[in-house]
A and B are shown apart, each in its own frame.
Chain A
Amino acid sequence: MSCQLASDSILYANGIYRVVYEIVGVVLPCWVAYAIAGLVFAFILVNAVLLGAAAITWGERRLLGRFQNRVGPNRWGPFGLFQPIADLVKLLTKEDLRPDGSDRVVFSLVPVLMVAPLILMTAVLPFAKNTALASLNVGVLYILAVSSITSVAIFMAGWSSNNRYAMFGAARAVAVLISYEIPVVLSLLGVVMVAASMSLGTIVEAQALPFFLVQPLAFFVFMAGMSAELNRSPFDVAEAESEIIAGYHTEYSGVRFALIQAAEFGGVGVVAAITATLFLGGWSGPWSEYLGWLWFLIKTGIIVFLFIWFRATYPRLRIDQIMAFSWKFLLPLAMVNLIAVTLEVFLLRGDDGVLTVTDLAIMGVVNLAVTVIAIAVFGNLIKERVSFRTRQPQNVVVPGVSTIEVI
């Protein structure tokens, strides 16, 4: 007995899935083969996220060290590569603490809820040509929907901890997450419009010219918004150590803390992978289409490096500055990008609705100018004029009163 996927199945386009399905299907019933193929792929994805998180903790600490003229962890294994293992062993052997008065069920659910969306998000990521667990035709929408679960998990963590610092952190995190969701979604609209599809695979194929060249403004808004959604510096008020201990995960320890950290760093990896797919052309690269996974990894690594670079460079913003940055700066920029891209797509596309490489190049040049002008204009609009001089007291004349000094 041999099983063949019907060519109209959404899993048909997935090379690895089809191969596993057909090999296993030789000896087992088709529905078992279907499940096994899915499990194999899911296993790969879960390990990719968690091992990626481990690799990113190592890479981040090494790179931050070098950014600050330090060395970073280098004692365990070559270049300190085994440091994540040592960290994990340490965390696993720690006492599992639950604060008194916490909501036990919610408190225990949080680590799972933090990691699950990341693994779910990878389901639609095309790692190579025709290689994704599910090539959904609404992939971008799916990613945006699933990634919002994180904000719920963060608020659950803050609420269930019975700790004010955790609650403050959670409130800040949710405020930041909600604010930055909007510019991110608007910037992705431009991408979807140019690719004329929400499927990530189609978006990759549409990038004859990588979209970060076609829409630099959208790339900028997406990167800034995503650093905020990941609670990373310079938007890391949610876990600002100097103010509120560790924010929403103050009360977590041991293996739960390990999972939350894995979610944080795995989030960097997954978001970098999504960014690479949407803006850097994903698996597409020169030479051979079988090297797709390599290009994908390289591009993801570049984005991860960018995130680490930002973290090493920028100091933490105040919460009002973060809000202003989102609502007064990123949101208008996203809208400008949306309008510009809409007009360009409307004017440039041919009768069959397809944008050629030339069209994309024209869009890139125009959008670069739009980017520079928009950043300059809106940047000057929100620029705070900070004066370090103390204000001179003014004499205000109030009727009936002689003079009041207002400082």
Chain B
Amino acid sequence: MYGLAMIKGLMVTLKNLTRKPFTIQYPEERAKQHPRFRGEEFVWYEERCTGCASCAKYCPLGIIKIETSPSGTMIPEGGKYRLEVFDIELQRCMFCGLCVEACPYDALFMGSGFEQGQYSRKNMVITIDQLRNAEKHPSTWYRPQLEGYEGEADSFRRRPTISQGDSRFSYDPRGGPPLGWREVGRESWRWHQHEKAGMRFEQDNEGTDTRGEGPDPSVRKDDEAA
């Protein structure tokens, strides 16, 4: 009958009226971020970085500036430099992620932030100190090993990701805890037990250098379980 469709339309809008609003009130609440979001605030792990400057070479815009000097450690391998300058000019960055793809040692990650608005272009340059001190919330862009990550930082376990459906999205770059350099690598855990290029072991609490010691028992157990 004529007019019934109009009543039907009214009912549709009325049904929508009773629904919960879809809006997420941004400053107070946040949407869950996709783990592969290519955000600002690059995450850089100095322990993994060799100063090879692959990122600077691969950057299509040439906005990464790296200055290095010979390091006191790992001279025989020749694989390590001390970084003095690591500037990323964010204002010209197009977030292509090629620097992250180029990094051979998983030292550079895309960040997950998007709130780096500044009033001056000068403030848009990320310096090495900012990279050192920033909370590490890496994006999983080009680093799929992070996608299975769940839970506490120390109990990292690699899990098959794609086959488990939604587990791909279980990693929440912004909401989760910041990740240390041990947790973000793509290589086997045993790789860390011997000094290799790109490793900078920090001094542990007793002040002894952990270089050259045997594999950490907890790490080995974890590795065998995987």
Contact = CB atoms under 8 A, between A and B. Distances in A.
A and B: bona fide binding partners:
yes
Interface of A: 63, 65-71, 74, 309-310, 312-314, 375-376, 379-380, 383
Contact of B2 (A70, A309, A376): A376
B133 interface: no
A201 to B, nearest CB: 33
Nearest to A382: B2
Contacts of B23: 69-71
Interface in B61-95: none
B6 interface: yes
B22 A313 contact: no
B1 A379 contact: yes
9 contacts: A63-B17, A66-B17, A68-B16, A70-B23, A309-B10, A313-B10, A375-B2, A376-B3, A380-B2
B122 interface: no
Which of A70, A313, A375 counts the most chain B CB atoms within 10 A? A313
B164 interface: no
Contacts of A310: 10
A63 B1 CA distance: 29
Interface string B1-35: 11100100110111011010111010000000000
Contact of B9 (A65, A70, A74, A313): A313
Contacts of A63: 17
B12 A71 contact: no
Contacts of B13: 67, 309, 312-313
Nearest to B21: A71
A21 B218 CA distance: 93
Contacts of A74: 25
Contacts of B17: 63, 66-67
B10 A65 contact: no
Contact of A376 (B1, B6, B10): B1
Interface in B22-70: 22-23, 25
Given A67-B17, A69-B19, A313 B3 contact: no
A236 B22 CA distance: 28
A168 B13 CA distance: 31
Nearest to B23: A71
B3 A69 contact: no
Contacts of A375: 2-3
Contacts of B12: 313
Contacts of B14: 309
B21 A314 contact: no
Contacts of A309: 10, 13-14
A315 to B, nearest CB: 9
B224 to A, nearest CB: 51
A104 B220 CA distance: 87
Contacts of A313: 9-10, 12-13
B6 A69 contact: no
A179 B152 CA distance: 71
A71 B17 CA distance: 10
A355 to B, nearest CB: 29
A63 B6 CA distance: 19
B9 to A, nearest CB: 5
Contacts of A312: 13
Contact of B21 (A66, A376, A379, A380): A66
A314 B16 contact: no
A366 B89 CA distance: 79
Interface in B145-182: none
B1 to A, nearest CB: 5
B20 to A, nearest CB: 8
A68 B14 CA distance: 10
The 3 nearest A-B residue pairs measured at CB:
A379-B2, A313-B13, A69-B22
Nearest to B25: A71
Which of A74, A312, A314 counts the most chain B CB atoms within 10 A? A312
Nearest to A379: B2
Contact of A70 (B1, B3, B10, B21): B21
A67 B16 CA distance: 5
Given A309-B14, A314-B9, A379-B2, 15 more contacts: A65-B21, A66-B17, A66-B21, A67-B17, A68-B16, A70-B21, A70-B23, A71-B23, A74-B25, A310-B10, A313-B9, A313-B13, A375-B2, A376-B3, A383-B2
Contacts of B21: 65-66, 69-71
